[in-house]
């Protein structure tokens, strides 16, 4: 089976595997594209993670994550900018295709989401020169509105694309089916993202009914209600033919299973559902 267009976001096997074990499990099954998280890289060390990536010829479809720009004071906002510059450096060292951004929600004590969104725009503006010098594309990932307060005040693909258009051609979007499948403007905005050459990553999993946890109850492809083949057709019609990156947060189900079982199921569903 050709797995060229399958990438594993290492959140998917977080319950049982660290960075090195996840890479070994992927390579054993012929998967050569991954997307790690910064804490997973830090746990093994950036130098060792990069060695593993480059010595095995892995494609890093993205590094998760940058962002979390809004803060209650100037010191907090500066700290976020500094951390995002470090994230850019880490992504460049790994040879990542992009740095994925979860932009952040309301600062502690705030009810002003308009101000939070301005802090996000200002934060991106402060790191753009560093990203361009590092040749690192920045991918804004709009998150489902249920995360607007604490994780991301950018919640639709239209919002993300409008922000990217203000910032420049090296800022695009990571389109995660879990977060935007419900959007009545989805087809229109995916087509727009393609016209503007801003699709930098495509993430998949499924939306379970009922969803028991707002963060940690994503479904394996085929177990929920998202039309993933239809979603992919929109993505490909927009000109993006890169990997589908499987990203599953599942504390009470998939994270409790052996990593090998998770990957075997991903491959099976990739063949039959995606």
Q: Kindly report the pTM of this predicted structure.
A: 0.98
Please compute the mean of the pLDDT values over residues 149-168 and round it to a whole number: 98
Sign of the dihedral defined by the CA atoms of residues 45, 48, 53, 54, in that order: positive
pLDDT digits (tens, 9 = 90+) for 95-121: 999 999 999 999 999 999 999 999 999
Residue keyed to tokens 């394996």: 220
* The pLDDT value given to residue 1: 83
Domain total for the chain?
1
Let me know if residue 1 belongs to a domain: no
Mean pLDDT across the chain, nearest whole number?
98
State the pLDDT confidence band at 82, using cuts at 50, 70 and 90: very high
Average pLDDT over residues 124-137: 98
Please name the residues in contact with 243: beta carbons below 8 A apart, sequence gap of 6 or more. Answer: 4, 5, 6, 7, 33, 59, 61, 202
- Domain CATH code at residue 201: 3.20.20.150
Helix 259-272 to helix 19-28 angle (10° resolution) is: 50
Q: Which residues 6+ apart lie within 8 Å of 268 measured at CB?
A: none
Q: What average pLDDT does range 220-238 have in this prediction?
A: 98
Q: Is residue 185 over pLDDT 90?
A: yes
Which pLDDT band holds residue 89 (cuts at 50, 70, 90)?
Answer: very high
Residue-range definition of the domain harbouring residue 216: 6-272
In a domain, 217, yes or no: yes
Q: Is residue 47 part of a domain?
A: yes
């Amino acid at each position: 089976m050709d797995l060229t267009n399958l990438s594993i976001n290492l959140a998917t096997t977080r319950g049982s595997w660290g960075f090195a074990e996840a890479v070994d499990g992927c390579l054993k099954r012929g998967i050569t594209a991954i997307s790690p998280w910064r804490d997973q890289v830090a746990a093994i060390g950036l130098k060792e993670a990069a060695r593993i990536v480059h010595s095995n010829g892995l494609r890093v479809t993205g590094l998760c994550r940058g962002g979390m720009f809004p803060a209650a004071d100037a010191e907090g906002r500066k700290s976020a900018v500094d951390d995002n510059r470090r994230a850019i450096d880490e992504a460049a060292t790994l040879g990542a295709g992009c740095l994925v951004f979860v932009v952040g929600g309301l600062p502690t004590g705030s009810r002003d989401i308009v101000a939070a969104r301005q802090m996000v725009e200002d934060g991106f503006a402060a790191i753009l020169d560093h990203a361009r010098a590092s040749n690192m594309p920045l991918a804004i990932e709009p998150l489902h509105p249920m995360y607007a307060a604490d994780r991301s005040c950018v919640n639709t693909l239209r919002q993300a694309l409008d922000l990217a258009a203000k910032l420049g051609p090296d800022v695009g979007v990571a389109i995660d089916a879990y977060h935007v499948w419900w959007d009545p403007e989805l087809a229109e905005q995916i087509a727009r993202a393609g016209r503007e050459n801003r699709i930098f990553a495509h993430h998949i999993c499924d939306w379970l009914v009922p969803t028991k946890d707002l963060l940690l109850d994503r479904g394996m492809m085929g177990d929920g209600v998202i039309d993933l083949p239809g979603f992919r057709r929109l993505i490909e019609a927009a000109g993006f033919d890169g990997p589908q990156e499987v990203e599953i947060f599942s504390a009470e189900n998939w994270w409790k299973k052996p990593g090998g079982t998770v990957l075997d199921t991903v491959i099976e569903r990739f063949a039959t559902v995606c």
